[in-house]
Amino acid sequence: MRVRRKTGEGKSARLQPRERSRASAVAARSSERKDSAPESGVLLVDIGNTRVKWARLERGRLGRQRAAVHAGWTQEDYARRVIGRSRNIRRILAVSVAGERVDRLFAAAARARTGVEPEFFVTRRRVAGVTTLYADPWRLGADRLVAAIGAHRIARGRAVCVVVAGTALTVDLVDSEGCHRGGMIIPAPGLMKESLLTRTNGIRRRAAGGSTRGSLFARSTRAGIEHGTRHAAAALIDRAVEEARNLLGRRPLVLLAGGGSPALRPLLRTPHVFVPDLVLRGLAVLAAESRVRA
């Protein structure tokens, strides 16, 4: 695993992983590995564009995920909300797509509270059993790759479609051999609605007020936006799964994650499993494997 350690001098450090053979089932929380004591005292952090999610890894078991919207947060907010009392934290592993300013605030909070330098995961072509076919691997979002790692471990040798509904909606395909075939990105329903309400005049005016109840064929502008955007996202997911089946010759396992997933699940025709802490599970795999070579 390649990680970026945030320091005042902006230096980076690299850790090389070793692939583990044991995979987790969907409900499993364990990240145990052979010939080594289970990882403990690790704080795993997923910093997205809108929300930050975190959990502790203790004795190879992933704790309960916590989450919060981090808009406008200061260093002290990250220290108080995410780091907390910093009890027995020996390592902090993070993945972030929130930008350098947020990363600096979080890193400073971690150093101040724990004295531990956070490790920020950086995309590379091959890591933890997953190989991306992206022409330029750095262009693949680090959070997408970490989610793919977690999904590949859960899938246990089966192809998997990884759907994460956050600010954006991403769908990635990882085959049974761990090859990341690629993926797609569209605005999630919230961003679709925002574009309609901020880039138009008539729709914005007509969407003020009114009920959101109804079906796809809504009877108010507001309801039309609400249902239309959600159905559009769900339809893309269903189509992506069918395309994956045509490409691979069999239907992949479908895993959903992200704060926007609960609103989409009732609309999906595709059988799926909701894994809300999927990115943190991927970080847990990386934490366990990098420690072998650390």
Cα 285 to Cα 24, 194, 214, distances in angstroms: 10, 36, 43
Instruction: Tell me the C-alpha distance between 107 and 116, whole Å.
Output: 9
Instruction: Tell me the C-alpha distance between 55 and 123, whole Å.
Output: 21
Q: Outline where the chain has alpha helix (H).
A: 75-78, 100-114, 142-155, 189-198, 202-207, 221-248, 261-264, 278-293
Q: What residues form DSSP beta bridges with 79? A: none
Cα 122 to Cα 6, 13, 138, 163, distances in angstroms: 12, 11, 8, 20
Q: List the catalytic residues.
A: 143
